[in-house]
Structure 1
Amino acid sequence: MRIHPLACLAFSALALHTAPTTAQTPTAPAPRACPSEVPAGATCYTGEDGLGGFYWIALPAQWKPGSGVLVMHAHGGPADTGPAKPERSQEDLKRWAVTVKAGYAWAGASYRRGGFGVSMAAEDTERLRRHFVAHFGPPRRTILHGQSYGGSVAAKGAELYATASGPGGTVKGPYDGVLLTSGMLGGGTSTYNFRIDLRVVYQYVCKNHPMPDEPQYPLWQGLPMDAKLTRAELANRVDECTGVRKPAAQRTEQQRANLANIVNVIRIPERSLIAHLNWATWLFRDLTQLRLGNRNPFTTAGVQYRGSTDDAALNAGVLRYTADPAAVAELAKDSDPTGRIHMPVLSLHAINDPTAFVELESSYRDTLERAGTGHLLVQNFSDESEHSYLSDPQYPALFTALLNWIDKNDKPTPQKVAALCKGYEAAYGDTCKLLPDYRSPPIASRVAPRPVP
């Protein structure tokens, strides 16, 4: 007997050792004053999702389900690894108020907890969509928007809910199209490889995370569960070794050399070094110890690191780890895209994104092409150096292009999106920075390849 996939949401797939949760009925949307960033005339609502998470909903003035478009937002992170916080979805609404300004309803979930869990987050997003429909009615179109880590969530959600089992057999799923912005699109088994590389290279150079007199542990664990290290203390250690928080002229010669060796090998900008080490510490602890049962999904054995002042010594001295195949398989099942989609997908990525490398777009493109669905993907790139939010008019241009593709079968090109964007500059008060002729390089040109098993 076939089970409708949405029926499983109430019980939640126990991906990556998620603790069993008894689902309660989500609370009805309660009216709330909209944040000041949301356009005047909109109405906002909040509630709890019945699994420990929270949500915000915003409806533009005059929005009606029969003619309106709903944008389901999958947020980034997962920087926070503890319980869900109501502020999370409110902050997302403030950042993405441009969606409401463009005339679309917006709904965003905090997810039921912090920490890693891509399929879980996709389930929570879909759970909120159903809750929205129950209270406000089915919209004319529903777009799934994923930002950063949420790009991975949306890419997975597009596959999990591409189709559903209905009375007459398999029917179209709940989403009409997908927008992926600044996405972590390589899947968990490859997206975070550069961060385990960062841990081993940083430790080779600085030898202070952990300190020699602290308990030693395999760096893929991120940090022992009982460790008392704080983010402020880690930042002090990084600064002591590299001077990264000081002006370049105030760094010692040794600090300059240490910093250059780290960022040249890992190929990250100086300004993101501490942030990436934070993720490679606390997120890794959550992922490997709480979600994967203290199993290692990362390999550094056989990886050849290049870009330091002495690559031979570096490769001889860095710590080497071999991934547990069972951990890799579980992580892949939870977070790796397969390319099995049945709807249009647009993406946007800054070419100098300091957090999610633009080369991750190539990984996703290759995945879809191998699956025979590459024709459903149109990628767009911008001449920017930010991650969390890009130029305002680019987002309504992407939504318009995606809806034209869905409604009129008018598949966009990057050139069409760029032209649409120019038309939004005056209304949104910013400049389009799209590069319609750009194509992202392969991920292997940025991150040291793993040896083939």
Structure 2
Amino acid sequence: MTRLGLLALVLLLVAGCGTTVAATGPGGARERGGYTLGAPYRIEVPARWNGTLLLYSHGYASAQSQMPGTDAPSRQVATSLLAAGYALAGSGYSQQGWSVEQALGDQLGVLDAFTARVGRPRQTIAWGSSMGGLVTALLAERHPDRFQSALPMCGGLAGGVTVWNLRLDGAFAFRTLLAPRSDLQVTGIRDSTANVRLAKSIAKQAQATPAGRARLALAAAIQQLPTWLPKGLQDEQGAPAQETAQYQSWRLAALGADFGNRAELEQRAGGDPSWNTGVDYAHTLQQSGAQAEVARLYSQAGLDLQGDLDRLARAPRLSANGRAVRYLERFGTPTGRLRVPVLTLHTVADGQNSPTNEASYASAVAANGDSALLRQLFVARGGHCTFTPAEQVDAVGALSERVESGRWPAWVEASGVPPDHAAGPPAAVRFVSFRPSPVSRPGKTSTARP
């Protein structure tokens, strides 16, 4: 990668008024801070700009938090992209939590500010991580006149309805099997902090016994949590190692989302947007890809797997609020109708947004006849959004090349190593050919209403 001068114009615009304050940042960068749009945002333009703007959408943050303007996943990634001549921009959003609705408007406001203060980009690439990956996909679908391509990373691209239904499935199985008489709340959560604390306590106790581990594995399989260790490639095989990986996914990500974040979503959407009426969890287990692991753990614990599946079948079901479902369809569920090239990036063992999201998204795109505009990259690593800077920079470069040439780079088609990194550190780039399992809750929400 060619190294360019790092002198950059940095606009740090924070919620409120329109004034700016100039300063000199690291590496000789000029910085300007101020207030506009009701949301903080950041713009960086290198001295030798190549004409391409990267608009970054950040991921989920606690509703009580305040995010600064964020224009890249990390400063290391930002520095590399500025050195390559890309301009960077991104909002901190006017609200946090499941703020997809606000993020869409805030990001378009950043584009307007960039054009007014810097100039019109030759091309604009939308990109983002986690919830920001979903925002990215929606921006590209709904505003193809503003974006020439998109890079959603580690996003819940099956759509909000499916993602939260999967989380409901896991939480429902978790409570029914492990703590049916507890105060743990699956929906209508009154105190999210206390609810997550209770869920973690239940999980810790369950992990200490063979029976508890078996039931944790069943609930994890129903939610399609990965069986890889979050720290990297799994080097241990067998059901115990897989269950340990799933427990780590529960502890590190899923419990907080399932038993905590739902409270904020319900308040925002005007009710619970998830349901499990009519769901057959025995069938869900069959579709999960983890049936053999669960069966072995149940056998080792001396438990009756069919008996627990029967318990799940008999447990009273939960219905959704139609208004809340419609809100989540709008903010946000991608349709899969593409008008610009989209390149997705996902680890093969993401415990927060399962790679099954990519299978669902690809199916939606194919149903619309737009598969030529979609390519999907996978990284042989566990964890949520655990990409190296090199992998993210390579993905940006590949998408930019696709826009410029009209063709996908050969290494993307082959899911191989980019030529520039063939001789680099082996751990820096771990792209791999991978086909994710289908999501266990298939179907568009318009045909799966509660």
Q: If the length of structure 1 is used for normalisation, what is the TM-score?
A: 0.76
Contact in 2 for aligned 1:393/1:428 (Cα 8 Å): no
Partner amino acid, structure 2, of 1:265: I
Q: In the TM superposition, what are the counterparts of 1:7-156 in structure 2 within 5 Å?
A: 26-28=18-20, 30-31=22-23, 33-34=25-26, 40=27, 42-51=29-38, 53-60=39-46, 62-64=47-49, 67-77=50-60, 79-86=61-68, 89=70, 92-94=73-75, 96-97=77-78, 98-156=80-138
Partner amino acid, structure 1, of 2:280: Q
The answer for unaligned runs of 5 or more in structure 1 is 1-22, 35-39, 163-172, 244-250
* Secondary structure of 1:144 counterpart: strand
Instruction: Give the corresponding residue for 1:271.
Output: 248
Instruction: Give the corresponding residue for 2:11.
Output: none
Relative distance call for 1:380 and 1:90 in structure 2 (3 A) is closer
Relative distance call for 1:69 and 1:427 in structure 2 (3 A) is farther
Distance 1:230 1:95 in 2: 36
- Report the number of matched residues: 391
Contact in 1 for aligned 2:391/2:429 (Cα 8 Å): yes
Relative distance call for 1:42 and 1:235 in structure 2 (3 A) is farther
Q: In the TM superposition, what are the counterparts of 1:216-235 in structure 2 within 5 Å?
A: 219-221=186-188, 223-224=189-190, 229=194, 231-232=196-197, 234-235=199-200
The answer for unaligned runs of 5 or more in structure 2 is 1-14, 226-245, 286-293, 295-304
Partner amino acid, structure 2, of 1:238: A
Partner amino acid, structure 1, of 2:70: S
Distance 1:319 1:428 in 2: 53
Q: Deviations over 1:404-443 (max 9, x none)?
A: 221222233554575562413557884321124x333321
Instruction: Give the corresponding residue for 1:167.
Output: none
Q: Deviations over 1:206-236 (max 9, x none)?
A: 227xx64x5x86x233x11x56617555433
Contact in 1 for aligned 2:160/2:333 (Cα 8 Å): yes
Q: In the TM superposition, what are the counterparts of 1:360-399 in structure 2 within 5 Å?
A: 360-399=357-396
Instruction: Give the corresponding residue for 2:177.
Output: 205
Relative distance call for 1:370 and 1:46 in structure 2 (3 A) is farther
Aligned mate of 2:201, from 205, 220, 236: 236
Shift of 1:112: 0.7
The alignment-based identity, stated in percent, is 25
| Residue range with higher mean Cα deviation, 259-268 or 186-195 | 259-268
Relative distance call for 1:107 and 1:182 in structure 2 (3 A) is same
* Secondary structure of 1:384 counterpart: strand
Partner amino acid, structure 2, of 1:220: T
2:155 pairs with 1:180: no
Relative distance call for 1:405 and 1:284 in structure 2 (3 A) is same
Aligned mate of 1:443, from 432, 439, 442: 439
Contact in 2 for aligned 1:46/1:54 (Cα 8 Å): no
Over the aligned positions, Cα root-mean-square deviation in angstroms equals: 3.1
| Residue range with higher mean Cα deviation, 411-420 or 357-366 | 411-420
Distance 2:23 2:105 in 1: 24
Relative distance call for 1:228 and 1:139 in structure 2 (3 A) is closer
Shift of 1:150: 0.8
Distance 2:192 2:56 in 1: 34
Relative distance call for 1:99 and 1:354 in structure 2 (3 A) is farther
Distance 2:444 2:331 in 1: 22
| Residue range with higher mean Cα deviation, 179-188 or 331-340 | 331-340
Distance 1:128 1:390 in 2: 26
Q: Deviations over 1:330-389 (max 9, x none)?
A: 210220112333211111111222221111112111222222322211112222213223
